[in-house]
Every structure is written in structure tokens, then in C-alpha cells.
Structure 1
Amino acid sequence: MQFGIFTVGDVTTDPTNGTTPTEHERIKAMVRIALKAEEVGLDVFATGEHHNPPFVPSSPTTMLGHIAARTSKLILSTSTTLITTNDPVKIAEDFAMLQHLADGRVDLMMGRGNTGPVYPWFGQDIRQGIPLAIENYALLRRLWREDVVDWEGKFRTPLQGFTSTPRPLDGIPPFVWHGSIRSPEIAEQAAYYGDGFFANHIFWPTSHFQQLISFYRRRFEHYGHGSADQAIVGLGGQAFIRPKSQDAWNEFRPYFDNAPVYGHGPSLEEFTEQTPLTVGSPQEVIDKTLTFREHFGDYQRQLFLMDHAGLPLKTVLEQLDLLGEHVIPVLRKELDSLRPAHIPDAPTHASLKAAAASAADPASAAASASAAASASVEATV
């Protein structure tokens, strides 16, 4: 089970004192948050991609490359890479380069984005969002898996004898998650390729995401990638933690009430009841997060949103200390103990490389399977 954080990179005024960080301060804060994530034992840091105020992360691979040079274990990912408005050629090359710089500690999450004006800024039509996502991703996969590509589609100029450079590290493309909050077509796409499906699971009720994830699992099995319960699922979540529950509620309430996304809407009490947002003690965060498995089955990645709504950097770092020391160790132990042996871990560069080597050498794969079987027999004697 992988645990981590994701950021949307919003520049938001702190409602408690009226101060607004500069873009420079916010970007530097995001880097500091990523370093803290590794320090407290988290597995993943993921950044969004946005091209409009009040967000700053317009170039995820630039930021992740910088973080890669300052970390050694952290998996670097995105909480959206815009497959609709980015050129697949540029995605292929940027993330392959990042793979090399990070020694394979890279994956990414494809998404369509939810800001309509961005499409025409990049020469696209939001009404073509789903077809763009499908066609662009099909091309991206070929660019990573074929040394020379001839291609022609609807949304970009043809390619003739094209080689994307650099080639993926060790010939292994980054693992891809497909993120969606409402589109079964994207869940279908993830299932078709045997990729991961990430349900943001933040703003909508659990029942909505249960339908999407259940659909993805069924289609994953339909396409022959494994049983439905072996499908690769990731979930989002939100938390604000203090040692004492009432302190958490009192401190977080003004941030929630004035947040650009959900402020001035449902009350904090209503929102925590209907969504994954947890405000309270470490034990309350643990208890609520454990219910995710009851709703969605065994899953592979849990990311928390911790740095939004104008929360100052000092507070976010304190949150990560509490998350890393008091919450994640318990969740990791509990969820790993509950997970059946046939449920896979989240793919990593190392595991994908090992799988590719086994596929290329059936004799080695058979020997490994025999050794595993012998070990299993010995363990039961």
C-alpha cells in the first residue's frame, strides 16, 4: 500500500490574517512540502497541472525534476497531467527525461482537467475532451513502447518515422493512472490498458465513486488483466489533524468556510459527513480512512490533500508530522494485514522491470514460480 500527498498548487489568501503568498513563496512551499513528505515516511508526492490563476504548477516535470534531485525514495507523480491539451509527444519526452533523472521514481496520472478556458489556449475544443483523451493516450503509449512510430489521427499532425527521446528508462514506460471524477469512458480506458484508476474521492459522495470504481474493476477483469479485485485503484482524501479533535475543528473551520472551491456552501459538518474530509484527531482520520476499504475493496494508493485553502506552510508541515507519525503507520499495518495475498501492490519501476524480464525469459519466470510454490509449501508444513 502506498501513501502520499497531492497538491493542486492553489495560491489562496489565509482567511485568518488576510495574507496571500506570492507565486514564488507558494512554489517554494510546495517543494518544502514534498521534502517533508519523504522525511516523515510517505511514499508519494503528486502535483497538479494548471495553467490559470490562482494555481501555480504549470510545469510539473520541472518541479518534480528539482524534487528528484533532493530526495532518494519518494515516488514523484502528478495529480493530473492534461492528456487533452498537452501534446503526447511532449508528455512522452518530458516524463522519460524525468524517469532518468529520478532513477525510475516516476509515475503519472492522466486527466482531462476541469477548466474550460484552458482548451482553446492550447488550440483544443473542450467538447472533444473524451476523444482527445482517448486518441492522445493511445499515441503516448506507442511513443513509449515503439522505437519508431508512424501515426495519423484527428487532433494533431501525422508522425512519420518518429522516435521519442530519450527512450524510457530500462525500456519501461512510467506507470499510468487515469483520474476521473465523473466519466465512465476514462474508467473504461484505464481498464482496457490494464492501467491504474484514481478516484479523486473528495468533493462527491462515496456512492458516486463506488459506481465508477466498480465499473472499472469489472472491465479490468473483462479485458483479461486479472480478477476484478486485483484492479489497480487509487483514492484521494482530505484531512486536517490536531492531537485534540475540537482544536482541529476550531482551527480548520475558517479555512473551510472561505475556501474558493467549497467555501460558502455546505457546512463543515455536512461536508465531513458526506465526503472523505476528516477533521479531528489522528485516530479519527485512521478510523474514517479504514472505511474506504469497506466501500471500495482493497486498493493500492491513498493520497491526501493537505496544503490547500490558504493553510500556511508551518501548519501544513505540522500536519505532515502528525500524518507520518501517528496515522500512516497504523493505516499501513491495518490495511496490509487485511489485504489477501493475491492482491497486487501498486506498480513501481522496479516491479515493472522485473515483470518485463520474466516475460522475456519464460524459463526464468517458471523457475521463479517453482521456487515460490516450494516456499509456500514449506511455509505450510
Structure 2
Amino acid sequence: MQFGIFTVGDVTVDPTTGRTPTERERIKAMVAIALKAEEVGLDVFATGEHHNPPFVPSSPTTMLGYIAARTERLILSTATTLITTNDPVKIAEDYAMLQHLADGRVDLVLGRGNTGPVYPWFGKDIRQGIPLAIENYALLHELWRKDVVDWEGRFRTPLQSFTAAPRPLDGVPPFVWHGSIRSPEIAEQAAYYGDGFFANNIFWPKEHFQRLIELYRERFAHYGHGTPEQAIVGLGGQVFMRRNSQDAVREFRPYFDNAPVYGHGPSLEEFTDQTPLTVGSPQEVIDKTLTFRDSFGDYQRQLFLMDHAGLPLKTVLEQLDILGEEVVPVLRKEFAAGRPSEVPDGPTHAALVARRDSGDGTQPPVPAGSPA
């Protein structure tokens, strides 16, 4: 099982000091956090993609390419790559380039984003969000798997005898997760292609995400990719830790209470009771994270959000030390215990190449087009 962190790259005032980091400081902090993730033994670093303040990661491939040059083992991913407003041709070429530079340590989470004004900024209509996600990925899927593509759809100019360059490393495209917090159509899309489904369950009760993941697993099997238990699932989550829970709650409360994403709403105690947010000791984080398997079944990737709400870099790095030294080693052992042998591991480029070379293919073939 893979463990890592994801960042949304928000530039948020620290409520305890009143100071807001500059964009440069925030970008450099994200790099420092990625390097720390590798240092403490995590598997994955993922960055969001946003094109509006107060966020800074508008160019994930630029950031991940820089991090790739400074790391050796870390899988570099996205918390969202906007499949709706980015040109699929540019996604195909940018992430294939990154895949070569990072020696295969690349995958990506495709999503529609959560900022409505982004659509017209890039010449799109938010009312077409789901159709855009379906059609654009159908094209991206084809661009990575066919050397010469002829294409005609609703949302972009046709392609005639087009070849995306560079071609995917070793002829194997980056692994794709389809991310969603609310849309069954996206779970269906992930299942149709035999791709991964990433449920960023950081805001809503587990029952909501259970329904999405169960749908994805059932449809994954329906399309002939394997059993429901063999579907590839990733989960999000948020944590804040100190040696004892009282210190963690006391220190994190002002950040929670003033955070743009969930401040001024439910209390910290209500939010931690109803969602995956854990604020407490390392053991409390371990205990709550282990319940995710009871709710969602055996899964492949767990990412934590740790650098949000204005938390200073020093505090985030301290959190990563605790996560890497005290939490993840226990979670690795506990999640491995009793894990059925037929449940696949988290995706890596080497595993996908080996599967292709074994004759099994990276996934069963599916026709191009929209999910049935």
C-alpha cells in the first residue's frame, strides 16, 4: 500500500501571527514538503492544480519536474489535473514528458475542479463539466495508446493523423486515477477504463464515499477488469498530530476555526466526528485511518492533507516527521495483515511495464468513446 501527502497550495494567513506567506514562499514550501516526504519514507507527493487566488499551483508539471530532479524514489502525482479545462493533447504531451524526466515516477488524478469561474477563463462552459470530462479523457486515453490519432468530438477541433510527442515511457502511459467527491458519472468512467478511482473524502461523511466506491467496484467488475476487490482505490484525509491529543487540539483549533475551506461552520469536534479529519496523537491517527478499510475495503493509496489552513512550514515538517516515523510504519504493517493476495498493490510504472510484458496488458482493452 502506498502512503503520501497531497497539497492544494493555498496561500492562507496564519491566524496565530496574522502573517500571510508570499507566493514565492508558498511555492518553495511545497517543494520543501515534497523533499521531506521522500526523506521520511513516504511513497507519494501530489499537488493540486488551481488557476485562481488564493492558490499557487497553476502548473503542476513545472513543479513536479523540479521535484523529480531532486528526488529519487518519490511517486509524483497530482491531486487534480483539470481534464475539463485543459486540452487533452497538452495533458498527453506534458505528462509524457514528465514521465521521461522522472524515470516513470509519475501518475495523475483527473478531476473537474471545484472553482466555477475557471471554465470561462479557459473558454469552456461549466454546464458541460461532465461531458467535457468524459470526452476529453476518451481522447487522452487514445493519444497515449495510438501512435497516430484521428479524432472528432464536440469540444475541440478535429485531429487528423496526429501523433502526441513524446510517446509514453516504455510505451506505457502514466497511471490515471479519476477523482471525485460527488459524481457517480466519474466513478463509472474510472470503472469503464479499468483506471483507479480517488475519493478525496475530506469533507463529507463516509457514507457518501462508500456509495461512490461501491459503485466503482461493482462497475469495474462489470466491465471485466477483475473482481470488485481488485479495483484500484485511493483515499484522502487530513491529520494534525502532537504527542498528546490535548496539545494537538489546542494548537490546531485556531487554524481550523479560520480556515477558508471549513472555518466558521461545524466545530472542530463535530468535524472530526463526521469526517476523516483526525486531530490528536499519532495513535489516534493510526486508529482512525485503520477504520477506512472497514468502510471502503482494501485499497491501494492513502494521501494526507497536512499543509493547509495557514500552518507554517516548520509545523508541517514536524508533522511529516511524526507521520513518517510513528504512523506510516504501523499503518503499513496493519494494512498488510490479512490483506488478500488477489488485492493488487499500488500502481507503479515498473509494475505496469511488467504486466504489459507478461502479456496481461496494463488493462483489458476497451473501445474509445464515452462510458456505456
Specify the TM-score bucket, using the shorter chain as the normaliser.
Answer: over 0.9
Q: Give the corresponding residue for 1:351.
A: 351
Post-superposition offset of 1:146: 0.4
Q: Give the corresponding residue for 1:112.
A: 112
Alpha-carbon distance between aligned partners in 1 of 2:352 and 2:341, rounded to the nearest angstrom = 19
Alpha-carbon distance between aligned partners in 1 of 2:312 and 2:272, rounded to the nearest angstrom = 22
Alpha-carbon distance between aligned partners in 2 of 1:296 and 1:357, rounded to the nearest angstrom = 31
Q: Give the corresponding residue for 1:5.
A: 5
Alpha-carbon distance between aligned partners in 2 of 1:346 and 1:320, rounded to the nearest angstrom = 21
Determine helix, strand or coil for the equivalent of 2:358: helix
Alpha-carbon distance between aligned partners in 2 of 1:266 and 1:52, rounded to the nearest angstrom = 26
Cα deviation digits, residues 6-33 of structure 1 (max 9, x gap): 0000000000000000000000000000
Alpha-carbon distance between aligned partners in 2 of 1:170 and 1:329, rounded to the nearest angstrom = 32
Q: Give the corresponding residue for 2:309.
A: 309
Cα deviation digits, residues 103-132 of structure 1 (max 9, x gap): 000000000011000000000000000000
Cα deviation digits, residues 177-211 of structure 1 (max 9, x gap): 00000000000000000000000000000000000
Within 5 Å, give how 1:103-142 maps onto structure 2.
Answer: 103-142=103-142
Q: Which runs of 5+ in 2 are unaligned?
A: 362-372
The amino acid across from 2:148 in the alignment is: V
Structure 1 residues 321 and 360: alpha-carbon distance in aligned structure 2, compared to 1, 3 A threshold: closer
Q: Give the corresponding residue for 2:74.
A: 74
Alpha-carbon distance between aligned partners in 2 of 1:276 and 1:355, rounded to the nearest angstrom = 34
Alpha-carbon distance between aligned partners in 2 of 1:40 and 1:340, rounded to the nearest angstrom = 28
Q: Give the corresponding residue for 2:366.
A: none
2:51 equivalent to 1:51: yes
Q: Give the corresponding residue for 1:60.
A: 60
Cα deviation digits, residues 131-167 of structure 1 (max 9, x gap): 0000000000110000010000000000001000000
Post-superposition offset of 1:360: 7.5
Alpha-carbon distance between aligned partners in 2 of 1:315 and 1:346, rounded to the nearest angstrom = 29
Determine helix, strand or coil for the equivalent of 1:339: coil
Percent sequence identity is 83
Alpha-carbon distance between aligned partners in 2 of 1:41 and 1:360, rounded to the nearest angstrom = 31
Post-superposition offset of 1:313: 0.1
**Root-mean-square deviation over aligned CA pairs:** 0.8
Within 5 Å, give how 1:155-170 maps onto structure 2.
Answer: 155-170=155-170
**Structure with the higher fraction of residues in helix conformation:** 1
Q: Give the corresponding residue for 1:16.
A: 16
Q: Give the corresponding residue for 1:379.
A: none
Cα deviation digits, residues 329-348 of structure 1 (max 9, x gap): 00000001121111000111
Alpha-carbon distance between aligned partners in 1 of 2:79 and 2:230, rounded to the nearest angstrom = 22
The amino acid across from 2:233 in the alignment is: V
Between Structure 1 and Structure 2, how many residues are aligned? 361
Determine helix, strand or coil for the equivalent of 1:147: coil
| Larger deviation, residues 332-341 vs 24-33 | 332-341
Determine helix, strand or coil for the equivalent of 1:359: coil
Alpha-carbon distance between aligned partners in 2 of 1:346 and 1:331, rounded to the nearest angstrom = 15
Q: Give the corresponding residue for 1:217.
A: 217
Structure 1 residues 360 and 326: alpha-carbon distance in aligned structure 2, compared to 1, 3 A threshold: closer
The structure that has the greater radius of gyration is 1
Determine helix, strand or coil for the equivalent of 2:333: helix
Q: Give the corresponding residue for 2:370.
A: none
Q: Give the corresponding residue for 2:330.
A: 330
Q: Give the corresponding residue for 1:173.
A: 173
Determine helix, strand or coil for the equivalent of 1:19: coil
Q: Give the corresponding residue for 2:369.
A: none
Determine helix, strand or coil for the equivalent of 2:304: strand
Alpha-carbon distance between aligned partners in 1 of 2:299 and 2:201, rounded to the nearest angstrom = 13
Q: Give the corresponding residue for 2:234.
A: 234
Q: Give the corresponding residue for 1:277.
A: 277
Within 5 Å, give how 1:338-377 maps onto structure 2.
Answer: 338-359=338-359
Q: Give the corresponding residue for 1:193.
A: 193
2:84 equivalent to 1:84: yes
The amino acid across from 2:240 in the alignment is: F
Alpha-carbon distance between aligned partners in 2 of 1:161 and 1:193, rounded to the nearest angstrom = 24
Determine helix, strand or coil for the equivalent of 1:203: coil
Determine helix, strand or coil for the equivalent of 1:177: strand
Structure 1 residues 360 and 260: alpha-carbon distance in aligned structure 2, compared to 1, 3 A threshold: closer
The amino acid across from 2:30 in the alignment is: M
Alpha-carbon distance between aligned partners in 1 of 2:338 and 2:277, rounded to the nearest angstrom = 23
Cα deviation digits, residues 289-313 of structure 1 (max 9, x gap): 0000000000000000000000000
Cα deviation digits, residues 317-357 of structure 1 (max 9, x gap): 00000000000000000001121111000111000000111
Determine helix, strand or coil for the equivalent of 2:238: strand
The amino acid across from 1:330 in the alignment is: V
